[in-house]
């Protein structure tokens, strides 16, 4: 066990995994715990959060779980109150919740547009809205929002709503970071590129003609490294931003994509 997050309380949304294996939130929650943090693991499905908790506790860590739809204000408020009741403070807010649906401005439905805004964008606003007062009172805190390189680059097929929400998260993060820098609070984004996590086995496959194996091969080939990254690559970048090692890193983004967004073609 490490000590980079010793005595810190970390609230992780989307701390479960959408399928077998390691999703970004699950890996981050476990890594925070391995570095000494007390983790408050949030997921829409409590069984997914409980699976993460079981891993953390099997390694001697501390974790509590809570079921929450982070796009709902009343549930987010209850979530934050439950974390304070359990641990007394919140040192790090790690926003990992996100869904993806393909479709451009013409063919994407309005329902899909509003759904992605609620889950990917409004959720970040709401968690920050209710966590920030506690961080202001402490005069210290770190917010890590997981975005996507899709917010800054075309990634190969129409992805209008997802792209829009991830770009919005970056703008919101900068706004929060600058407003609350004087309060000892930092806010930054991690922007994953092409990652191999359980989430890509869902709606994203449609952007690759529905063939999962072909999708994996094509995404591997797109990466300058010849291989997609995984949840641990995102987790370690998040750990740095959350830790005191990044005490002067604020209002910025760390791109975790193997060099993908530096390519011209």
88 phi, psi to nearest 5 deg? 85, -10
247 phi, psi to nearest 5 deg? -60, -20
Q: How far apart are CA 51 and CA 55, in angstroms?
A: 7
The helix/strand/coil state of 29 is helix
CB atoms within 10 A of CB 256: 21
The answer to whether 258 and 223 have CB atoms below 8 angstroms apart is yes
- Smallest Cα–Cα separation from 37: which of 5, 64, 12? 5
The catalytic site residues sit at 162
Task: Please name the residue ranges forming H helices in 96-245.
Answer: 110-116, 123-138, 160-180, 212-222, 231-242
Report CA 214 to chain centroid distance, whole Å: 26
Q: Which two tokens stand for residue 28?
A: 């981050």
Count of residues in the chain: 265
Distances (CA, A) of 33 to 7, 152, 253: 10, 31, 23
């Amino acid at each position: 066990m490490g000590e980079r997050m010793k005595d810190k309380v970390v609230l992780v949304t989307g701390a479960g995994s959408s399928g077998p294996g390691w999703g970004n939130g699950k890996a981050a929650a476990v890594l925070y715990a391995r570095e000494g943090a007390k983790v408050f693991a949030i997921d829409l499905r409590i069984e997914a959060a409980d699976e993460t908790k079981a891993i953390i506790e099997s390694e001697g860590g501390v974790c509590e779980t809570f079921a929450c739809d982070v796009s709902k204000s009343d549930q987010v408020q209850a979530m934050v109150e439950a974390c304070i009741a359990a641990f007394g403070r919140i040192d790090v807010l790690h926003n990992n919740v996100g869904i993806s649906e393909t479709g451009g401005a013409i063919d994407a439905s309005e329902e899909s547009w509003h759904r992605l805004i609620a889950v990917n964008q409004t959720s970040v606003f709401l968690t920050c809205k209710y966590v920030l007062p506690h961080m202001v009172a402490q005069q210290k805190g770190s917010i890590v929002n997981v975005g996507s390189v899709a917010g800054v680059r075309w990634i190969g097929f129409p992805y209008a709503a997802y792209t829009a929400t991830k770009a919005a998260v970056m703008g919101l993060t900068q706004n929060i970071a600058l407003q609350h820098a004087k309060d000892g609070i930092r806010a930054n984004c991690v922007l994953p590129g092409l990652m191999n996590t359980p989430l890509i086995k869902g709606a994203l496959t449609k952007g690759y003609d529905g063939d999962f194996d072909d999708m994996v091969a094509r995404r591997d080939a797109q990466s300058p490294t010849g291989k997609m990254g995984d949840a641990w690559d995102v987790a370690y970048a998040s750990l740095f931003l959350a830790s005191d090692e990044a005490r002067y890193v604020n209002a910025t983004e760390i791109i975790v994509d193997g060099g993908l967004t530096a390519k011209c073609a």
